[in-house]
Amino acid sequence: MAAAGHTIQMVRRTTTSLSLRLVLACYLTAMLAVAGPAPAAAPSAVQTPDPAATTVPLPPPAASVLVDADTGAVIAGTNERTPLLVASTTKIITALVVRDQLADDAVVPVSPLAAGMPARKLTLLAGERWRAIDLLHAMLLCSCNDAAVALAEAAGGSIDGFGKLLDAKAAELGMVDGPVLADPSGLDDESSIGGGNLVSARDLAIATRAFLGDPVLAGIVLMSEYRFLGGDGEPHRVVNHNRLLETYTGAIGVKTGYTERSGASLVAAARRDGRTMIAVVLRSPSTYVQAGELLDRGFATPRHQQEGLPPLTPAAAVGGGGDRSVRSGALANRPGDPSEPGGSTPTGPGSNGDGDGDGVHPATVIVGGLAVSAFAVGLRRHQVVRRRRRRAAAARAHRRRAPPRPVAAGRRPSSASAPRSVHWPHAGADQSTSGTGPTG
């Protein structure tokens, strides 16, 4: 029994120690994950700064352009006349053609080709019939490829027919950098039509200027989400994947894009103080950052300093200021308005490859560390008190179970050594009766 009790005590001590170590290890792991690598030691006063220690800037996008949408002036550009793969930003041009060819309430049949498009998609099924305006929202907000192909076939009679409409629209708008337009979705892999579209950043800006001139299209890309009853008889909700609406003050759109071949692209537009700027970045390492920097530069350039800047090819003019969150007559909701159903802000990642994470404030780490430390100390004290109580209880139980000590003949045990539960016999033949033994 004594050995078993000792073993139990050792197990409890080991478990307590492991619990404390586990708590401390979890806290230290969280601290390291948040804090990152330890900073280098600060240089002494006599040391000169290391030039290599300065922050490394982001590499530039493969192509970019900044345009004042109101005046048409090209404020800045890098490789903006070179046609490149542009992924889903193609859907800006697709939307312009669809608006020319289909009424909002037109019924669009779904073909097997449209139903077989890869994600992102609405999961349309062949034979279903959907409203054009609903598919247009799905194509522009969540970049649904099956919606784009269904709209293209309805607008052009076939995919080949739609390709001819794309070419005609590009010529009409003045896109003269040799655009190659065949796929209404902008895919460029084995599931694409024609192997992928090639469009310059400047031509995309021209198309975007015309896009923003259409109140319905401009209103769609400003929405945070859109709810509707689909051609399958089920309610649907599509969410805007463009996080620029959340991260840049005055942002009004327009379209994200990403494939493995094209990289991440963004066509961005913003309005401040009655001025509208368009920024296009293709194959960018950080689309929202670099597009935001271009927009900042545009708003910092006064109109009187635009004299002598090259003009963008004339296109549909952008209307005067005001809110462009125009209703299309469907079940649309104002972006971010909690008073209306479905007025939540966009959730989930965008359709391009940027991954933005929320940091943890240092104060949160400190408070969390103090809380964990206080918990560990309290737990340790509680365990120590319990251990002491268990030891005392075990000692008392042991004394109760122990046999009485042998007493020499004629000697009375002291009251301190005689358990209360033991009754001593009266003096017998082997004990003295002189008063030294028990008297009964």
| Tokens representing residue 306 in the block | 């635009």
58-69 pLDDT, tens digit per residue, is 899 999 999 999
- Residue 233, SS3? coil
pLDDT digits (tens, 9 = 90+) for 392-436: 777 777 666 656 555 555 545 444 444 433 333 333 333 333 333
Comparing CA positions, the residue from 243, 440, 253, 424 lying closest to residue 350 is 243
In this prediction the pTM is 0.62
Per-domain residue ranges for the chain? 63-306
Of the candidates 91, 121, 169, 255, the residue annotated as catalytic is 91
- List the CATH code of the domain at 63-306: 3.40.710.10
On average, the pLDDT of the chain sits at 75
Q: Which of 37-51, 191-205, 331-345 has the lowest mean pLDDT?
A: 331-345
What is the bridge-based pairing of β-strands 198-199 and 129-131? Answer: unpaired
Nearest-Å Rg of the Cα atoms of the chain is 39
Active site residue 434: no
**Listed residue (220, 208, 172, 210) closest to 326, CA to CA:** 220
Q: Stretch 79-105: mean pLDDT, rounded?
A: 97
Q: How far apart are CA 166 and CA 137, in angstroms?
A: 19
List the catalytic residue out of 64, 88, 286, 325: 88
Q: Which residue has the tokens 């309610």?
A: 235
Residue 78 confidence (pLDDT)? 96
> Above 90 in pLDDT, residue 165?
yes
Provide the pLDDT confidence category of residue 345 given band limits of 50, 70 and 90: very low
Burial of 47 (0-12, 13-18, 19+ CB in 10 A): exposed
CA dist., res. 196 & res. 184, Å (int): 10
Cβ atoms 324, 219 nearer than 8 A: yes
Q: Which of 64, 111, 143, 351 is catalytic?
A: 143
Question: How many C-beta atoms lie closer than 10 Å to residue 278's C-beta?
Answer: 30
Residue 143 falls in the annotated catalytic set: yes
Model confidence over 280-290: pLDDT tens digits?
Answer: 999 999 999 99
158 has catalytic annotation: no
The half-sphere exposure of 303 on its side-chain side, counting CA atoms within 13 A, is: 10
pLDDT of residue 181: 96
What are the tens digits of pLDDT across the range 20-29? 455 455 455 4
